[in-house]
Amino acid sequence: MTRDEQVVGWLGSACHGPTRWGTFAVFGEPGAAEIMAEQGFDFLLVDLQHGLLDWADVATFTRAIENVGAAPLVRVPSADAASVGRALDLGAWAVVVPMIETGEQARQMVAATQYPPRGTRSFGPIRGRAAADDAARCFVMVETVAGVENVDEIAAVDGILGVFVGPTDLGISLGIGSAYEVGEPSHDNAIRTVADACARAGVVAAIQTGSSAEATVRASQGFNLVSMRSDAALLRGAAAEMLSAVR
């Protein structure tokens, strides 16, 4: 199977089959991302928004993750077309765009993943055009009350791959804070609203979670892609657990 066939197949089947599990890569070290991918995660999210890495690292990260058999996704720093195209040029199978609140914003980001006449993406010489470039490759993040209110319009945007819930920012937007309780009514209702909108539109429902218990809940609510914590958080937790066992 060629790389192109692998990417197209993964993207095209993301709405179907068993839940896919992933985590965020925030360390500026591709070896850490490779170790995480080796544990069997289906995807890793290279985090350019909050992570300790820069654009110069992205191609190395995507290759390291891909070579182990996981899908490299890239969260871009902000909702701008240049960042979206650049992430794809550097090997991202799909991009994750933060803080989207309207259908029009989502349309602009989807257009940034597609070449003319369908979209606005500029051709980059690092990777030649491929069949994967015609696939849906854009996740948009819904992280605010406004985004939830407009999620049906967002999920219905032509060419979108899916909607990715950022639950911590959503908790802040709802006024309950960043340390949300799983099952808190207003928070949980907002999350279910996104999952339901994705199901109606036939696109991927994705979400970040803070624990395996929460991840299991979100999968049961219909989320197709579930990210669990980050490499940094998992390292911190493992170190604390080991030390507490001997002290």
User: Catalytic positions, please?
Assistant: 50
Q: How far is CA 207 from CA 45, 82, 94, 111, 234, in A?
A: 12, 24, 15, 23, 17
CB atoms within 10 A of CB 241: 9
Strand partners, 230: 24
User: Is 150:102 a contact under the CB 8 Å cutoff?
Assistant: yes
Identify the CA nearest to 81 among candidates 101, 107, 57, 102: 107
* Pairing, β 20-25 against β 43-47: parallel
The alpha carbon dihedral of 228, 234, 240, 243 has a sign of positive
- Tell me how far apart the alpha carbons of residues 25 and 122 are, in angstroms, rounded to a whole number: 27
Whole-number Å distance between alpha carbons of 21 and 201? 22
Determine the Cα–Cα distance for residues 58 and 48; give it in Å rounded to an integer. Answer: 9
Determine the length of the chain: 247
Of 157, 45, 162, whose CA–CA distance to 108 is shortest?
A: 157
